[in-house]
Chain A
């Protein structure tokens, strides 16, 4: 990718980030702050010696949940809304390729999510420190894969966003995310439906994005070791899967009739 193309992708990304900030996406951090404050104040009294684990669980789950909601509901509008509002036409009239536009949108929302996750991570660390607990750097080993999973959700949302309206794209993305979270059920499908062809089960298992891969929350909350090799493989999985989805998305966006 040449410097000019990179600059154009960067410009779209920066604009997308500003747009999400204008749409008050980062306001979810206020809810997060309230949740963490309440958790910090109440868990010690309510949980019987489980406050540290519960604070970590709540912090990590909030990052994933809020991030996924943002990735889906902002992601599906990134391309579809531009098409529906016809604001895409003047943009593409400029020296800006569809691929650049598409990748810029992906990078912009990814950056928004990165800011979101980092602020939440800082909030979690502050809550732990504020309640007299040790700020565990191993939490990053759960936070990083959560972010990888969010990138994959953004890629899926963008793909569907190029194919259909934002409402339907949201439905499809939610469907993929939910199905990907049930990957263990898919793998063991033949236990409850022995008639299902083995090849179909295998195909579904490998074709659906396995969001279970990005779940290290329990391991980290219990202080279990997370091998770097596993982290590397998960990173590679996210990169390859997201690349495939983005490439399909770029192809469909290119061939989409916009008039």
Chain B
């Protein structure tokens, strides 16, 4: 009875002490991410018969690591991303999602991703090697070659390979031809991101939508610039501001991009650009 009483007295001390520790050291203390095993083969050897479950655990860890780095880390390094994906795909070579999302996490530019598309492409190539009959993975490899590496030639080749696989979508050949014919034009990018958007859900769909919004913003800037030229041709002078286009009835709404940021207008040159302050600005577009 005395022991029970003593235990009951001590139990409330635990949260009290924890509160004190949190107050002294901070409730959200920085925790260094550590990977003790760097090789998928080593992990595989440790869990005979439970490789599938271990792959799930590593995949969850990959997603949490990526999300944690993207949202909370000040110095977004993503340095454990590749080994985590490598371990996951070694433990379960058929986990398609790990190749697809893993490559996306690696390819996206910082701060959205690691900005290491060379590694992302390798991840997808590994998936294609393991599942040569999977047209979707090969299609993703083709897409990534185009949208991240800006290599329309190689992208079209891979998309053509994908189109010949059993069950492949009928539009892959058209897309390959378009990529080859129009190269780096936004029209091809939009078609590819539209496909990624239509085939995905969750974060991948949102990511594709954001890329489409970026392309929309750049297209809108081009459209405004051509309106500026139209006004100049009609009146012999360039408008002072883009709002003049609205008051002239040439555009129906304020000249802002999809994120609400005003476009940057240089009256001297007559150019309209997406403002670097905008969420939709990309240095490489």
B52 touching A221 by the CB < 8 A rule?
yes
Find out whether the CB atom of A218 lies under 8 angstroms from the CB atom of B92: yes
Stretch at the interface among B20-28, B56-64, B171-179, B230-238: B56-64
Q: List A contacts of B51 (CB < 8 A).
A: 218
Partner of B49, one of A54, A185, A211: A211
Inter-subunit contact A61/B50 (CB<8 Å) = yes
What is the minimal beta-carbon distance from A92 to any residue of chain B, in angstroms?
A: 38
Interface members, chain B 73-98 (any A CB < 8 Å)? 92, 94-95, 97
Q: Looking at the complex, which of A42-50, A101-109, A161-169, A235-243 is the stretch in contact with chain B?
A: A42-50
Q: How far apart are the CA atoms of A212 and B50 in the complex, in Å?
A: 10
A47 touches B63 (CB 8 A): yes
Q: Does A111 belong to the interface (CB within 8 Å)?
A: no
Tell me whether A8 is interfacial, beta carbon within 8 Å.
Answer: no
Do residues A181 and B60 form an inter-chain contact, with CB atoms below 8 A? no
Question: Known contacts A61-B53, A182-B48; is A46 also within 8 Å of B64 by CB?
Answer: yes
Residue of A whose beta carbon sits closest to that of B203: A48
B249 at the interface (CB under 8 A from A): no
How far in angstroms is the closest Cβ of chain A from B35?
19
Residues of A within 8 A of B53 (CB): 57-58, 61
| Assembled-state Cα–Cα distance A46/B203 (Å) | 12
Give the contact-size bracket for chain A.
Answer: 20 to 34
Specify which of B49, B56, B95, B202 is in contact with A215 (CB 8 Å cutoff): B49
The residues of B that contact A47 with a CB separation of less than 8 Å are 56, 59-60, 63
Contact A48 B50 (CB under 8 A): no
Whether the pair B97, A46 counts as a contact (CB closer than 8 A) is: no
B202 touches A218 (CB 8 A): no
The interface residues of chain B, by DSSP majority, are classed as: helix
| A53, CB-defined interface residue at 8 Å | yes
Write out the residue numbers on chain A whose beta carbons fall within 8 Å of the beta carbon of B240.
none
| Residues in B whose Cβ lies below 8 Å from that of A65 | 50
Q: A58 and B49: CB pair below 8 A?
A: no
Residues 205-224 of A contacting B (Cβ, < 8 Å): 211-212, 215, 217-218, 221-222
How many angstroms from the CA of A218 to the CA of B201 in the assembled complex? 24
How far is B63's CA from A57's CA once the two chains are assembled, in angstroms? 18
- Bound Cα distance A157, B97 (Å): 40
> Could you say which of A50, A181, A185 contacts B97, with CB atoms under 8 Å apart?
A50
The answer on a CB contact under 8 Å between B52 and A61 is yes
Task: Give chain A residues whose Cβ lies under 8 Å from the Cβ of B201.
Answer: 49
For A50, list chain B residues within 8 Å (CB). 56, 59, 95, 97
| A residues in contact with B50, CB < 8 Å | 61, 64-65
Query: What's the minimum C-beta distance from A68 to chain B, rounded to whole angstroms?
Result: 9
Tell which of B48, B52, B60 touches A218, judged by Cβ atoms closer than 8 Å.
B52
| Interface status of B148 (Cβ within 8 A of chain A) | no
Q: A181 touches which one: B48, B56, B59, B101 (CB < 8 A)?
A: B48
Within 8 A of A (CB), among B199-226: 201-203
- Asked if B45 is an interface residue, CB under 8 A from chain A, the answer is yes
Question: Roughly how many angstroms separate A182 CA and B95 CA in the complex, as a whole number?
Answer: 23
- Picked from A46, A64, A178, A182, the residue with its CB within 8 Å of the CB of B63 is A46
Which residues of chain B have C-beta atoms less than 8 A from A182's C-beta? 48
Q: Which residues of A contact B64 (CB under 8 A)?
A: 46
Complex CA–CA separation, A85 to B259 (angstroms): 77
Q: Could you list some 23 contacts between A and B, CB below 8 A?
A: A46-B60, A46-B63, A46-B64, A48-B63, A48-B101, A49-B201, A50-B59, A50-B95, A57-B53, A57-B56, A58-B53, A58-B56, A61-B50, A61-B52, A64-B50, A181-B48, A185-B45, A212-B48, A212-B49, A217-B52, A218-B52, A218-B94, A221-B52
A contacts, CB < 8 Å to B? 46-50, 53-54, 57-58, 61, 64-65, 178, 181-182, 185, 211-212, 215, 217-218, 221-222
* 4 smallest beta-carbon distances between A and B, as pairs: A181-B48, A61-B53, A54-B56, A57-B53
